[in-house]
Structure 1
Amino acid sequence: MTVIITAFERSPDGGRGLARDTRVRWALEEVGQPYEVRLVSFRAMKQPAHLALHPFGQIPTYEEGDLALFETGAIVLHIAERHAGLLPDDADARARAITWMFAALNTVEPPILELATATLLESDKPWSKERLPLVEDRVRDRLKQLSARLGNADWLDGGFSVGDLMMVSVLLRLRSSGILDEYPNLAALVARGEARPAYKRAFAAQLAVYTASERQAD
């Protein structure tokens, strides 16, 4: 059955691979699963047809026959469990890989998203200058812990897994802040993820959509 995912018709990330459909694209590319993309506008995301797939009116969604999923983590985990390539064969190693995936989403990403909000949406507030350093410190606290755990290893737990895919995707959001560069082993982890052919294909596909939308806007 053909896999269909949804993505922004005009991504607000400027084609930088930060929109969450890139994570799903990357997972599908890693396991060699072909897929189609249905582009949705911000208006269409709030319409009944899309809300039937995603009750919160966001992207991405995933359709495969009668199966419809939302939430990026759930989609990527489904892909990893259904196709070889993103989870180790050993049961304990699989459990650890999934643990790292949830750590990326539940422990590392929240302060990073808080930083994005503080930088992009709250910079004009009178209390922004006092709050921003506190938010940055919360990000650094998490990165310091993650950096210590990774050490000199290439990946989080043995070979590349779904845990690394999600962690790299989360850390990519820090690139413009410069904070990631303070932790060379984490910056190297991200670089290794970006160097993977599957990531390059996913990034190029997302960028192509943004580029096409910009041409149409002109």
Structure 2
Amino acid sequence: MTQHPVITTFGWVPEFARGFVRDLRPRWAFEEVGQPYDVNYIAIEFAKTPPHRAYQPFGQVPTYKDETVEIFESGAMVLHIAERAGKLIPADPAGRAKMIQWLIAALNTIEPRVMALVINDVFEADRAWAKDRRPVVLETLESGLADLAGALGDKTWLDGDMFTAGDLMMVSVLGGLRGTNVLDRHPRVAAYVERGEARPAHRKAMADHLAVFADAAAA
């Protein structure tokens, strides 16, 4: 029997986190490249224990394991899945470098701004400084989205007509704004996210991600 790659993630999270846990990213990559995979579900409390920290030293999810590789960080997983399958990644060195550039930009430039808003509005909304800090956080995020819109231009995807792992990561990061009205002010970026999330592979990955919590609730 062929052994499938395995990702580890939570079997239950609070309702506000559903649809946002980062196992969605490797799930989407697996679906895009047509790679079957298995999932190991753990409790939130287990993530902070030594057995899990042996694989993920920061006590987070997801983690990834196949017959030769054992890694954490969703960006590393998506890149590895793409390279392993030879898909979601341009064949030429220049195209591959640009794909990696956008994958890192999603995680290093855009995601910190998205998460700053999430932290302010969700995790620290009751703090005295949250209301005063929000305009600054929002301005920084809006600036990044405007820059991204300029780079995207009229292209379908970040580097033209090919959907790459860079797009997968960028759309995933921007999905953190789901439920806000931030993207309404950036229609070019909003349309880009809509195209990404409309892909059958994303729909399947999201459905599988959410089904776990529905099953847990039913149980």
Residue 162 of structure 1 corresponds to 165
What letter corresponds to residue 181 of structure 1 in structure 2?
Answer: D
Q: 1:48 offset after TM fit, Å?
A: 2.3
Which residue number in structure 1 is paired with residue 116 of structure 2?
114
Matches within 5 A, 1:66-105: 66-105=68-107
Q: Equivalent residue of 2:38, what SS?
A: strand
Aligned to 2:62: 60
**1:116: Cα distance to partner?**
0.4
Deviation at 1:122, TM superposition (A): 1.8
2:216 maps to 213
CA contact (8 A) 1:15 1:211 kept: no
**1:185 equivalent among 185, 188, 193:** 188
Name 1:41's counterpart in structure 2: 43
8 Å Cα contact 1:15-1:210 kept in structure 2: no
Task: Tell me the TM-score normalized by structure 1.
Answer: 0.95
Partner amino acid, structure 2, of 1:195: A
The number of residue pairs the alignment matches comes to: 216
Percentage of pairs with the same residue:
47
Letter matched to residue 185 of structure 1: R
How many Å separate the matches in 1 of 2:127 and 2:51? 37
Which residue of structure 1 lines up, in the alignment, with residue 4 of structure 2? 2
Gaps in structure 2 of 5+ consecutive residues: none
- Distance in 2, Cα, partners of 1:115 & 1:169: 16
Q: Could you tell me how far apart the structure 2 residues matched to 1:90 and 1:112 are?
A: 31
Q: Is the 8 A contact 2:13 2:44 kept in 1?
A: no
After TM superposition, the score normalised by the length of structure 2 is 0.94
Q: Distance in 1 between matches of 2:213 and 2:184?
A: 27
Partner AA of 2:129 in structure 1: W
Gaps of 5+ in 1: none
